[in-house]
Amino acid sequence: MTYAISNQIANDSALFARITAAAAEEGAASPEYTTSSFLRWPVAIANDVVAAYASALAAGNPNPGGDEAVITDQMILGVVQANWPDNPNPPTTT
């Protein structure tokens, strides 16, 4: 794993959208908040995700984060569930 690949994964908009969809399905009231605050980086550094993403880049895949054959929904869901926060919702202000 390299920091450059993890950074690229964390900033892949197609993958971010897929992680956000997983957060929504898991019940986050604000899936974008939950993804950006808690889930983006755990997915970006997961060994299986990094290996698959790097391999796809090396093979010339222009969209590894959006390609379900590269990063499967199950890979995303496994990381999301393993890193689900105690309180996935944004703080309230009163």
d(CA 90, CA 29) in angstroms, rounded, equals 9
Three-state DSSP at 57 gives helix
Q: How far apart are CA 83 and CA 42, in angstroms?
A: 7
pLDDT of residue 92: 78
Task: Report the predicted TM-score, pTM, of the whole model to 2 decimal places.
Answer: 0.92
- Ranges of residues in the chain whose predicted pLDDT is under 50: none
pLDDT of residue 89: 79
- pLDDT value of position 11: 97
Give the per-residue pLDDT at 94.
67
For 14-50, the DSSP string reads HHHHHHHHHHHHTT-SSHHHHIIIIIHHHHHH-HHHH
The per-residue pLDDT for 4 is 95
Q: How many CB atoms lie within 10 A of CB 4?
A: 9
